[in-house]
């Protein structure tokens, strides 16, 4: 692209004026020619400068475009990297959220397990305490049993009574022949003497209850006073209770019951068996509070 310089235009205008005037001096003409030549030279120099300036501008523009293209490519690369990073971060976030949810679920499960274990520990601890109480009860019962055996040794050796543990209960057994005559509920002298020694021992045993139980053989009885063996066995048990109370045993610790012929300890088909079945038993009752505390509530047993 070329432009006509202002100097050349001016020179051309000047020549045109001079020519139209019709009369021009030689010196003036030469000066005008020289000025025109200088104007052309200035025009050419200006043209060259302008072309160089245009070339420089085009080169600079090309460099700028090239730099902009490189910067745009770099920014596009960075943008792609940022996008990839965002995708990776989103994936990591999703994975972290999933792990967090799993961890929260696991924490909840462990909290439930801890509460269950705590409740189980509490139940086991209560059970242990109950079993410890039962163990103390058993030790105390055995100590009483050994003490009673020692104090009744002479009566045992004489065959006037026996002492045993039956179903966790200490049982003092006295044959009927020593206490009562046949068909009677009145204590004889030997029976009263034997029961007096028994009362002295029972009165020293604190915090214990005793049940006096009457038993008969299966030979029926039918009198006005005793229509059946139940009445007879009960009357005999109550006679023993009254004597024990008279000899110092606390009434609140005693009870009486009659079982008739329905709890035999031997065969009623023989005289010896019937003799053994006719008896009075003084049973030391277990501590019911300890036993009740040791019971496993429904649904809390093994597998519950």
What pLDDT digit, counting tens, does each position of 279-292 carry? 999 999 877 555 55
Q: What is the pLDDT of residues 2-54, one digit of tens each?
A: 555 555 555 566 556 555 555 557 788 888 888 889 888 988 898 998 898 88
**Taking all residues of the chain, what is their mean pLDDT, rounded to a whole number?**
86
Other beta carbons within 10 Å of 233: 29
Mean pLDDT of 158-186: 91
If one counts every other C-beta atom within 10 angstroms of the C-beta of residue 10, the result is 13
pLDDT value for 1: 54
Domains of the chain: 152-293 (3.30.1330.60)
Neighbours of 11 (CB within 10 A): 21
Of 30-34, 231-235, 244-248, the range with the lowest mean pLDDT is: 30-34
174 within 8 A of 282, measured Cβ to Cβ: yes
237 CB contacts (<8 Å, ≥6 apart)? 212, 213, 214, 256, 257, 258, 280
Is the pLDDT at 170 greater than 60? The verdict is: yes
Question: How many angstroms from the chain centroid is the CA of residue 2?
Answer: 96
Residue 268 confidence class, pLDDT cut points 50, 70, 90: very high
Token reading at 231: 């009445």
Rounded to an integer, the average pLDDT of 75-99 is 88
C-alpha gyration radius of the chain: 65
Q: Is the pLDDT of residue 149 over 50?
A: yes
Residue 60 parent element (H or E): helix 26-151
What pLDDT does 304 receive?
43
Residue 23: other Cβ atoms inside 10 A: 6
């Amino acid at each position: 692209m070329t432009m006509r310089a202002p100097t050349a235009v001016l020179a051309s205008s000047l020549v045109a004026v001079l020519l139209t005037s019709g009369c021009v001096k030689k010196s003036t003409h030469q000066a005008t020619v020289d000025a025109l030549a200088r104007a052309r030279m200035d025009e050419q120099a200006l043209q060259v400068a302008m072309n160089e300036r245009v070339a420089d501008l085009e080169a600079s523009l090309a460099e700028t475009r090239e730099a902009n293209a490189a910067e745009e490519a770099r920014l596009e690369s960075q943008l792609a990297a940022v996008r990839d990073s965002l995708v990776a971060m989103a994936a990591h976030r999703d994975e972290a959220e999933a792990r967090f949810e799993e961890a929260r679920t696991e924490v909840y499960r462990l909290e439930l397990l801890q509460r269950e274990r705590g409740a189980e520990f509490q139940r086991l601890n209560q059970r242990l305490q109950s079993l410890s109480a039962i163990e103390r009860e058993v030790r105390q019962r055995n100590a009483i049993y050994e003490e009673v055996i020692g104090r009744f040794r002479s009566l045992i050796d004489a065959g006037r009574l026996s002492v045993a543990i039956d179903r966790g209960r200490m049982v003092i057994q006295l044959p009927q022949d020593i206490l009562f005559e046949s068909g009677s509920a009145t204590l004889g002298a030997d029976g009263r003497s034997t029961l007096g020694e028994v009362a002295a021992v029972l009165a020293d045993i604190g915090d214990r209850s005793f049940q006096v139980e009457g038993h008969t053989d299966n030979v029926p009885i039918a009198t006005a006073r005793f229509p059946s063996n139940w009445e007879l066995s009960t009357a005999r048990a109550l006679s023993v209770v009254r004597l024990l109370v008279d000899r110092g045993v606390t009434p609140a610790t005693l009870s009486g019951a009659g079982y008739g012929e329905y709890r035999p300890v031997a065969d009623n088909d023989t005289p010896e068996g019937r003799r053994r079945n006719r008896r009075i038993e003084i049973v030391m009752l277990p501590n019911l509070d300890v036993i009740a505390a040791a019971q496993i509530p429904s649904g809390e047993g093994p597998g519950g």
